[in-house]
A = this chain, B = another copy of it.
Amino acid sequence: MLYLIGLGLGDHTDITVKGLAIIKKAKRVYLESYTSIYCDDGINELQQFYGRPVIAADREFVEQNSDQILANAGNDDVAFLVVGDPLGATTHTDLILRAREKGIEHRIIHNASIINACGCCGLQLYNFGEVVSIPLWTDTWRPTSFLDKIEANIDHGLHTLCLLDIKVKEQSIEAMMRGRQEYLPPTFMAVNVAAQQLLESIKEKSKEKATKLTADTICVALARIGSDTQKITKGSLIQMLNVDMGPPLHSLIIVGRSLHHIENEMLKLYSMP
């Protein structure tokens, strides 16, 4: 059986009792290490807590070695661990399909994801529209499609959860061209960078017509949700340029409507000084 086990968001104790029991008896344990990271723990803390060896699986490994991951999983239990909930990213659906082709059953052990945990700031999950990913711009690649999606949500009075780019084990163009296995240091987009890209996108688009998202739109910055050091800060988009949310992971919510009384009261707890 292939088990895809969500680890939740904070630290090693955010795994479920069910998930932990499966890890303890699994033949092999893999940790997906490219779509998200744990705030507080590395692989060593996890190994110690589980009392089991854990194999780090980056994108390359999962895409090229699925046969190895799935070896004999018809008879043995294999645990594939994912920070958050296992099915946020496409690649794991892919692993499930490869398992099913081999006649291997799968089971998902769910956990919290930023997609539901973002409700901790007091905004109602019912009032969120499409989730948006904000990719890190380069000098030559500056897509702005996220702005259109945010504006469509605002049109319908819906908040937007923006997931900020994570780059782990990415090669530089130079290394790629030279065929070298050299990797750039990991990058986690901060709220400030996301705000900067949003403000530049607005500036560009507003040359043609007025945008619904403006420098004054209320936002909520989230950092390390679920961990002991989590931080939530409410402010305008332009204020987000200077907010200090500390270490990764960050997310950003764009408020899409006038707030309910109770949403307002909750957000007051997190207002900027």
User: Which residues of A are in contact with B by a Cβ distance under 8 Å?
Assistant: 6, 8-18, 20-21, 85, 87-88, 90, 93-94, 96-97, 100, 108, 110-113, 115-117, 119-120, 122, 124-131, 133, 152, 156, 158, 225-226, 262-263, 265-266, 269
Note all chain B residues with C-beta closer than 8 A to A110: 8-10, 14, 112, 116-117, 120, 225-226
Q: How many copies of this protein are present in the complex?
A: 2
When A17-B20, A120-B110, A262-B93 are in contact, do A133 and B129 touch as well, CB less than 8 Å?
Answer: no
Note all chain B residues with C-beta closer than 8 A to A88: 116, 119, 125
Note all chain B residues with C-beta closer than 8 A to A18: 10-11, 13-14
Q: Other CB < 8 Å A-B pairs besides A9-B110, A17-B17, A115-B125, 10 of them?
A: A6-B112, A13-B16, A14-B110, A16-B17, A90-B124, A94-B262, A111-B112, A112-B113, A126-B131, A130-B158
Note all chain B residues with C-beta closer than 8 A to A129: 129-130
Give the distance to chain B from A206, nearest Cβ to Cβ, in Å. 22
Question: In the assembly, what is the distance between CA of A126 and CA of B90, in Å?
Answer: 10
Question: In the assembly, what is the distance between CA of A158 and CA of B149, in Å?
Answer: 11
Closest to A228 in B: B107
Question: In the assembly, what is the distance between CA of A9 and CA of B13, in Å?
Answer: 18
| Residue of A88, A128, A129 contacting most chain B CB atoms (<10 Å) | A129
Closest to A18 in B: B13
Q: Is the CB of B17 within 8 A of A85?
A: no
Note all chain B residues with C-beta closer than 8 A to A15: 16-17
| Residue of A18, A110, A127 contacting most chain B CB atoms (<10 Å) | A110
Q: Is the CB of B112 within 8 A of A115?
A: no
Question: In the assembly, what is the distance between CA of A49 and CA of B72, in Å?
Answer: 34
Give the distance to chain B from A148, nearest Cβ to Cβ, in Å. 10
When A97-B262, A112-B85, A131-B125 are in contact, do A21 and B16 touch as well, CB less than 8 Å?
Answer: no
When A6-B112, A110-B120, A158-B130 are in contact, do A125 and B87 touch as well, CB less than 8 Å?
Answer: yes
Q: Is the CB of A130 within 8 A of B112?
A: no
